[in-house]
């Protein structure tokens, strides 16, 4: 017997049980499990990576080449010397990089060997076989379009603004998801509160029915009073069935946000539906600015900034360019390639080159259209942003007005609920003393139940209204 009791206690200790979860823990669990939240996180990381990838033109580039040519053409460069066949083996290696200052630098090394068949004569003998080696360095600098990195800095500014707008858009979608999840949280707590109230109302109705039945059996009350009490019980039971259905729907909604499988225990959500939170406490960026704006309006302003920078970048790309370039190469010519590469650092016979290159695109229709399209796109984004900010101010004022109005309604509902509960209790006491009729007790009980449910509903709506504050942000007004 003792062994069986111990086994029973062991199994009981290992039974799965649900755990309590606060609002913040619930929202973190939604962020962790919900596939939509996960996809938005990945999209945010992708946008950040795209910003880094914008500097692909600044990465160093290594080039390597090896080649072999067998030329028997009578028009080859050595055919005039009598060569019937020319064989060339070549190798080259180079490294180039563009810097953010608009400067392009490169270093290179090359070597090749030429072997000609059929060349004769003492003056042409040196061309029968020879090798050439060369080391070189080159520099170029834009003096107009990308003057000391002007174009690169402009691109960086545009990419920063575009990335901020993109990541902000994903953040907005994530917050909309969390607002929906929080609404489901408060709907669940309201349904739970509603269920408790419904069960308590049903039990009170049962007690009234039992009391009335005893009075009818004792001949004190009419059977009509018993029918009224039974109708009250039936009505409360029907109401309870509807409340249980609402409770099941609320549970399903919470489970869907958490993406829990049906066989996984749903945690016990805990929260105070009566505890108020100020709207300003729900807004991001408190203390960092002096103007509260809707997040979508703030994102619209970031997009307008990105479009403005894109228009400037387009204008810059269509400008003429003047590039100053220079290069220096050593030249080593020896009987073969191996000897040429050993002496390719010789600076006795260098090749030096300095050049200035002008590129000027003419102002034809396509160029003007591209410039004007970018300007108009930026202007449209700016006007849209101004409209969004105007609507945002109105939305914030309206949300605060509605919240204040809801607070007044809750205060009135609390008073009504208190008075209706007191009236129902007083009617029940009078009924027990035989100084009230059943109809009065039933009516008072119904009024108290309705008042209590209405109060819980208003509190739930105010909690969901507070969650709307997540969709606003504080910015520094310029």
CA distance 465 to 99: 52
**Of 195, 188, 178, 200, nearest to 270 (Cα)?**
188
Q: If you write DSSP's letter for every residue of 128-165 in order, what string do you get?
A: SEEEEEEEEEEEEEESSTTGGGHHHHHHHHHHHHHHHH
The per-residue pLDDT for 437 is 66
**Of 39, 58, 48, nearest to 104 (Cα)?**
58
The per-residue pLDDT for 18 is 53
418-461, pLDDT tens digit by residue?
998 888 888 878 777 766 666 677 778 778 878 888 888 899 89
Question: Could you tell me how many helices (H) and strands (E) the chain has, helices first?
Answer: 9, 11
CA distance 415 to 406: 14
Strand 85-98, strand 103-117: pairing: antiparallel
The per-residue pLDDT for 96 is 93
What stretches in the chain show pLDDT beneath 70? 1-19, 286-289, 434-439, 477-478
CB 459 within 8 A of CB 284: no
Residues in Cβ contact with 118 at an 8 Å cutoff, skipping those fewer than 6 apart: 82, 83, 84, 85
pTM of the complete model beyond 0.85: no
**Of 149, 152, 155, 168, nearest to 48 (Cα)?**
168
The per-residue pLDDT for 288 is 58
Alpha carbon distances (Å) from 167 to 160, 172, 304: 11, 9, 15
């Amino acid at each position: 017997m003792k062994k069986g009791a111990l086994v029973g206690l062991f199994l009981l200790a290992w039974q799965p049980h649900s755990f309590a979860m606060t609002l913040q823990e619930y929202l973190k669990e939604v962020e962790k499990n919900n596939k939509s939240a996960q996809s938005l996180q990945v999209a945010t990381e992708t946008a950040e990576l795209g910003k880094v990838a914008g500097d692909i033109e600044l990465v160093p580039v290594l080039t390597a080449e090896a080649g072999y040519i067998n030329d028997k053409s009578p028009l080859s460069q050595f055919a005039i010397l009598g060569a019937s066949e020319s064989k060339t083996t070549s190798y080259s290696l180079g490294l180039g990089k563009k810097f953010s200052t608009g400067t392009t630098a490169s270093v290179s090394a090359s070597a090749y060997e030429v072997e000609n068949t059929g060349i004769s004569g003492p003056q042409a003998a040196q061309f029968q076989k020879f090798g050439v080696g060369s080391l070189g360095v080159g520099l170029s600098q834009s003096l107009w379009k990308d003057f000391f990195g002007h174009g690169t800095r402009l691109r960086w500014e545009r990419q920063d603004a575009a990335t901020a707008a993109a990541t902000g858009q994903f953040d907005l979608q994530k917050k909309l998801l969390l607002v929906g999840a929080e609404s489901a949280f408060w709907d669940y707590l309201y349904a739970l509160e509603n269920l408790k109230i419904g069960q308590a109302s049903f039990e009170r109705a049962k007690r009234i029915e039992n009391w009335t039945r005893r009075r009818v059996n004792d001949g004190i009350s009419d059977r009509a009073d018993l029918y009224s009490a039974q109708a009250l019980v039936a009505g409360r039971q029907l109401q309870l069935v509807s409340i249980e259905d609402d409770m099941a729907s609320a549970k399903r909604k919470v489970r869907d946000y958490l993406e829990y499988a049906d066989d996984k225990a749903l945690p016990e959500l805990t929260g105070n539906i009566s505890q108020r939170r100020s709207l300003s406490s729900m807004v991001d960026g408190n203390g960092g600015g002096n103007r509260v704006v809707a997040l979508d309006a703030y994102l619209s302003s970031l997009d307008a900034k990105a479009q403005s920078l894109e228009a400037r970048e387009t204008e810059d790309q269509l400008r003429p360019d003047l590039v100053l370039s220079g290069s220096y190469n050593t030249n080593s010519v020896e009987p073969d390639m191996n000897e040429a590469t050993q002496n390719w650092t010789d600076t006795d016979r260098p090749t030096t080159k300095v050049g200035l290159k002008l590129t000027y695109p003419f102002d034809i229709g396509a160029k003007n259209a591209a410039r004007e399209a970018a300007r108009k796109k930026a202007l449209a984004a700016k006007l849209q942003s101004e409209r969004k900010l105007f609507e945002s101010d109105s939305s914030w004022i309206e949300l605060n007005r509605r919240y204040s109005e809801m607070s007044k309604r809750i205060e009135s509902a609390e008073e009504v609920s208190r008075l209706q509960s007191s009236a129902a209790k007083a009617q029940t006491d009078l009924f027990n003393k035989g100084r009230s009729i059943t109809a009065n007790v039933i009516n008072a009980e119904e009024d108290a139940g309705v008042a209590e449910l209405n109060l819980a509903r208003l509190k739930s709506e105010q909690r969901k209204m507070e969650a709307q504050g997540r969709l606003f942000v504080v910015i520094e007004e310029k």
